[in-house]
Each structure stands twice: as structure tokens, then as C-alpha cells.
């Protein structure tokens, strides 16, 4: 067998006389159990071996007696049971006697073939089969194969039974010894003699048995396989955290990147680490209610990305807000600051006279250079008075230069106080 556990041609190549060996050589043989586009097709099926009612550890399949082979009158795995061949004379599914020379009452059913179809005699007689089975070596395992045509049986990669060529029914048997990993191989029914083969087996270990078979001639196909004590054993399968394969009860597996501290990662127990949506505030999250779908302004809940929805007091000036000082927001602060509704508090210069804050005026400019009166709190009345005197002096100077009647001075000051 090669590294792909397929049979390898070991005879002369090319074959000196194909008519004698019934083989053409390595090139064609390599296509028997390997996919070659346009040459062959692979179909996966299950071969059922029935348990012996008396010896519970013996399982067998017999194409002469077991279904579905009995109705097909032979081992024809490429017959499609959903597509019976229709008799052109009767319009009914085609049937024929098992052996016209020796009538037995057994009726055979003909079906169209899978793949490239039926070759002749209502069946596909050009196919190979490959059966694989795992067992736990305990000693005294017994394999018996009866069939035609070519058959090769490998145990733990070592050739055990070999019945090549086109032939009638032939029988091969392999019996594993009790403890030393070797086996006895014989042919015939019963075998006339046995040869010893070392399969390199160890008690308790699990190995593979492979049966390669080929059918390449009409007009019969037989397949009988018996496995006694070839028990698979009871295996324990479970996930391996850290192999980068999510299996069993694992939620994740990042291999060597598994970490118990990484946010949004996978833990060393192959469980999801802290992440947005786990219902617990972790890492850079502001919130996490498990849903995190809340949107809007000044609403409760948690938004996408585990961030709080925009609100007054988050320290970020949002649309519609004049300010936001976060926890420093406070109502009724004279002299500026941000209110609890994220609007500016009264302040000199807001173009609104706030008497509660001691303002006498506020035109939004409050600049003596422009002729307006500076608005200040009551504690700064002296400064206001000084400013107003300065304004009067400027106005007086202007009047003198323009020869404005002094009696108009009072009217100008009055206008200046009510301007906003």
C-alpha cells in the first residue's frame, strides 16, 4: 500500500503476456482504486454485516442470501433500485430467472446502473469496491472472504489475503494469533495449509482492515465477508481545547491565541471570553444589557458597541446642546457655566438682562468703545459707574467737537441704556 493506503502494482510493467496474467500493468491498475476524471466515478455506500445470533461477536454478509443482493441475484452495488429496467414487450420492470438451466423459483430484478450505466446482462459488471473497518486487536480475530474476481485484504497495511485475477468463487481466510501480533493465512474451504504473516499488532491497539475487490467479468458476482471478533472496541471521543478545531462542548478555539484575559477572545477552556453582548460590562464597554440595540437621545438602555446613547451630561456636546460639562452641569449659575439641560446659564454678554444676577443691562456687546453700558453684577456697581462716566466724557467730547447742544446728552445716555 502507498501513503494514501491504496494498493500498489508490484508485478512486471509492462506485462509480458496480459492474456495469461489478465492484467495490463501499472498504468491501468492504478486507476482501479483512484479517481480519474472520465475513466471512473466514486460512490459511497454502506455494507451491512448481520450479527450471528449464536456467536454475538461474529458478523457476516452473504450476497446469496442477504438483501438487497438476493433480489439482484448477486453483488451488484451499482444497480440503481430506483430505476428498474423496463421490458420493452410488457412495459413492466424486467425480471429473469436466477438460473434457467436449474429452475429454483428465484426471480432476479434488473436495474439501470449508476455511473456509466450497465455493461451487459442487465448489470454493471465493471467495478471495484474498497471496504475499510477499524478494530481493536485482542487476539483470535478471524476474517473469511469468498468471492470473485480479484480480492486483496490488508491488515494494518500488510497484505493478508491475495486472490487476484478473473476466477470463480474463491475462499481466503486470515486468523490473528492470540497475542504476538502475527496471523495465519490460508486458502480453500477449508484451507489446506496456513502461512504465518507478521502484522505488527499490539494487544489493545486499534488497526485498520481493508478489503479491495474487483468485478470485471460476467455473468455472476459474489461477495461474502465474515468478521469474527473484529470488534471496534469502545472509544472515548472528546474535544481537545487548543487544536483550533471547535468540537463537542467548545464554544471557540483559537489555538495558541486562547487567553483568559483577552477581550473578545477565546479562553483557555475554549469558552467565549468577555465580549460586547454577554450581558456583563467588561473592558472598554460603557454598558451591556445583552441586546445593545438602544438608539436615541437621553434614553435609557445600551447602544450598539456597548456604548451609552448620547445624553446631556456625557461631556460631549450633542446636536441641540449648547454645552455639556459632564458632572459639572448645574442650573442657575450666574456668570456662565452649563445647566442640567445642557443650555448655557445666564452670563454677562448673553444679550439678556438677568436681574437675578444683578445685571442692569446687557446688549451682548457691553463695550464702552461702542457707546454701550457694561453690564456687571451688583458687587461691581463702582466699575459700572466708572464706565458710565467714561462714556459721558466721550459723549461730551463728541458734543463739543460737533457743537451738539448739551441738553441732548441726557437723551443719548438714556438711549444707550435701553439699547440691547
Distance between CA 278 and CA 334 in Å, rounded? 46
State the pLDDT at residue 151. Answer: 96
Q: In what order do the strands lie in the sheet with 151-155?
A: 127-136, 206-215, 151-155, 158-163
Q: How confident is the model at residue 19 (pLDDT cuts 50, 70, 90)?
A: confident
For residues 123 and 239, which has the higher predicted lDDT (pLDDT)? 239
pLDDT of 403 above 90: no
State the pLDDT at residue 86. Answer: 92
State the pLDDT at residue 119. Answer: 66
Statement: the pTM of the whole predicted model exceeds 0.75: no
DSSP H or E segment with residue 19:
helix 18-21
Distance between CA 347 and CA 275 in Å, rounded? 46
Question: In sequence order, what E strands does 149-266 have?
Answer: 151-155, 158-163, 170-176, 182-187, 194-198, 206-215, 222-228
pLDDT of 203 above 80: yes
State the pLDDT at residue 386. Answer: 38
Distance between CA 399 and CA 174 in Å, rounded? 133
Cell of 11: 508485478
pLDDT of 318 above 60: yes
Calculate the average pLDDT of the chain.
Answer: 84
Q: How confident is the model at residue 387 (pLDDT cuts 50, 70, 90)?
A: very low
- State how far the alpha carbon of 328 is from the alpha carbons of 214, 300, 318, in Å: 88, 21, 16
State the pLDDT at residue 197. Answer: 97
Q: Is 304 strand, coil or helix?
A: helix
DSSP H or E segment with residue 108:
strand 107-109
Mean pLDDT of 370-398: 40
Q: How confident is the model at residue 393 (pLDDT cuts 50, 70, 90)?
A: very low
pLDDT of 400 above 70: no
Amino acid at each position: 500500500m502507498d501513503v494514501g493506503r491504496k494498493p500498489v502494482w508490484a508485478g512486471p510493467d509492462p506485462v509480458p503476456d496480459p492474456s495469461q496474467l489478465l492484467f495490463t500493468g501499472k498504468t491501468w491498475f492504478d486507476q482501479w482504486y483512484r479517481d480519474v476524471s472520465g475513466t471512473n466515478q466514486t460512490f459511497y455506500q454502506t455494507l451491512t454485516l448481520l450479527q450471528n445470533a449464536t456467536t454475538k461477536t461474529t458478523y457476516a454478509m452473504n450476497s446469496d442470501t442477504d438483501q438487497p443482493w438476493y433480489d439482484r441475484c448477486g453483488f451488484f452495488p451499482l444497480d440503481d433500485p430506483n430505476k428498474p429496467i423496463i421490458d420493452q414487450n410488457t412495459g413492466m420492470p424486467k425480471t429473469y430467472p436466477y438460473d434457467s438451466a436449474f429452475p429454483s423459483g428465484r426471480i432476479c430484478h434488473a436495474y439501470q446502473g449508476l455511473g456509466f450505466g450497465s455493461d451487459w446482462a442487465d448489470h454493471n459488471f465493471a467495478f471495484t469496491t474498497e471496504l475499510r473497518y477499524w478494530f481493536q486487536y485482542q487476539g483470535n480475530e478471524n476474517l473469511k472472504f469468498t468471492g470473485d474476481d480479484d480480492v486483496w485484504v490488508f491488515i494494518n497495511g500488510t497484505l493478508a489475503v491475495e486472490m487476484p485475477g478473473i476466477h470463480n468463487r474463491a475462499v481466503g481466510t486470515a486468523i490473528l494469533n492470540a497475542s504476538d501480533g502475527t496471523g495465519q493465512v490460508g486458502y480453500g474451504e477449508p484451507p489446506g495449509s496456513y502461512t504465518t504473516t507478521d502484522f505488527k499488532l499490539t494487544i489493545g491497539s486499534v488497526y485498520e482492515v481493508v478489503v479491495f475487490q474487483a468485478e470485471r467479468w460476467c455473468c455472476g458476482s459474489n461477495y461474502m465477508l465474515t468478521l469474527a471478533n473484529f470488534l471496534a472496541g469502545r472509544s472515548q471521543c472528546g474535544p481537545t481545547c487548543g487544536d483550533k478545531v471547535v468540537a463537542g462542548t467548545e464554544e471557540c478555539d483559537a489555538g495558541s491565541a486562547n487567553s483568559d484575559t483577552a477581550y473578545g477572545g477565546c479562553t483557555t477552556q475554549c469558552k467565549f471570553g468577555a465580549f460586547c453582548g454577554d450581558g456583563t460590562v467588561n473592558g472598554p464597554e460603557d454598558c451591556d444589557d445583552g441586546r445593545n440595540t438602544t438608539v436615541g437621545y437621553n434614553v435609557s438602555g445600551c447602544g450598539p458597541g456597548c456604548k451609552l446613547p448620547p445624553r446631556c451630561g456625557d461631556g460631549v456636546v450633542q446636536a441641540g446642546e449648547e454645552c455639556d460639562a459632564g458632572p459639572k452641569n448645574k442650573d442657575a449659575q450666574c456668570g456662565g457655566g452649563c445647566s442640567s439641560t445642557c443650555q448655557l446659564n445666564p452670563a454677562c454678554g448673553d444679550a439678556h438682562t438677568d436681574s437675578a444676577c444683578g445685571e442692569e443691562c446687557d446688549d451682548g456687546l457691553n463695550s464702552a468703545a461702542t457707546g454701550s453700558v457694561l453690564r456687571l453684577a451688583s458687587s461691581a456697581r463702582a466699575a459700572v459707574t466708572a464706565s458710565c462716566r467714561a462714556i459721558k466724557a466721550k459723549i461730551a467730547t463728541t458734543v463739543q467737537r460737533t457743537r451738539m447742544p448739551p441738553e441732548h446728552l441726557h437723551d443719548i445716555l438714556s438711549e444707550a441704556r435701553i439699547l440691547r
